[in-house]
Structure 1
Amino acid sequence: MDRTDLALEQRIDELLAARARTSSICQSEVARSLEPDDWRPLMEPARRAAQRMMARGEVEITQGGSVVDPSTAKGPIRIRRPR
């Protein structure tokens, strides 16, 4: 992991901590919060950061409100605390 990976994981934690326990965030929110003017290149790294955190049991990745397997999920994801 590099500095960007660590920053993305930290930002996921910070964004989730600032919300209600039942709320979720979008991977684009994470990317935009780190690089407001050039966030698109961070979309996949943000997704991978969420996948690592999910593997450690720190977050869940959802689509349509249901937990999904991040390795097969296509399209935008939401990130939330485990329920």
Structure 2
Amino acid sequence: MPSSAAADAKYCSDACRRHRIDDTDRALERAISDILDARALTSSTCPSEAARRVAPDDWRPLMEPARRAARRMVARGEAEITQGGSVVDPSTAKGPIRIRRPR
């Protein structure tokens, strides 16, 4: 990533900032975006769907990276994270989440 793009990157937390965004992270963000673009605005997706799209045969290790990708998208205003249909704070969400476009 060029240095100017790195300076403009939105991170969801200090942990994301320390991790640094790599090709897999970008692929997960693209997968989430592509999945949401293909659905109605009222639809959502699970992070596992993006993980499966990026690594169909070994997706489980990508679950936390997919959640981080969703949190970065929330930080940029591109997505919302929900639980039980309600928008939640991505930094405190525990358990299963869904990702949707902002409403």
| Structure label with greater radius of gyration | 2
State yes or no: 1:11 paired with 2:18.
no
Question: Which residue of structure 2 aligns with residue 73 of structure 1?
Answer: 93
> What is the aligned length?
83
Of structures 1 and 2, the one scoring higher in RCO (CA 8 A, sep 6+) is 1
State yes or no: 1:51 paired with 2:71.
yes
TM-score (structure 1 length as normaliser): 0.97
TM-score (structure 2 length as normaliser): 0.79
Structure 1 unaligned regions, length at least 5 = none
Q: CA deviation at 1:17?
A: 0.5
Whole-Å separation in 1 of the counterparts to 2:62 and 2:36:
18
For residue 48 of structure 1, give the secondary structure of its aligned residue in structure 2. helix
Q: How does 1:2-41 map to 2 (within 5 A)?
A: 2-41=22-61
Whole-Å separation in 1 of the counterparts to 2:71 and 2:99:
10
1:19-73 CA distances to partner (integer Å, 9 max, x unpaired)? 1111000001110111111100000000000000000100000000000011111
Please tell me the root mean square deviation across aligned C-alpha atoms, in Å. 0.6
Identity of aligned residues (%): 77
Whole-Å separation in 1 of the counterparts to 2:96 and 2:47:
7
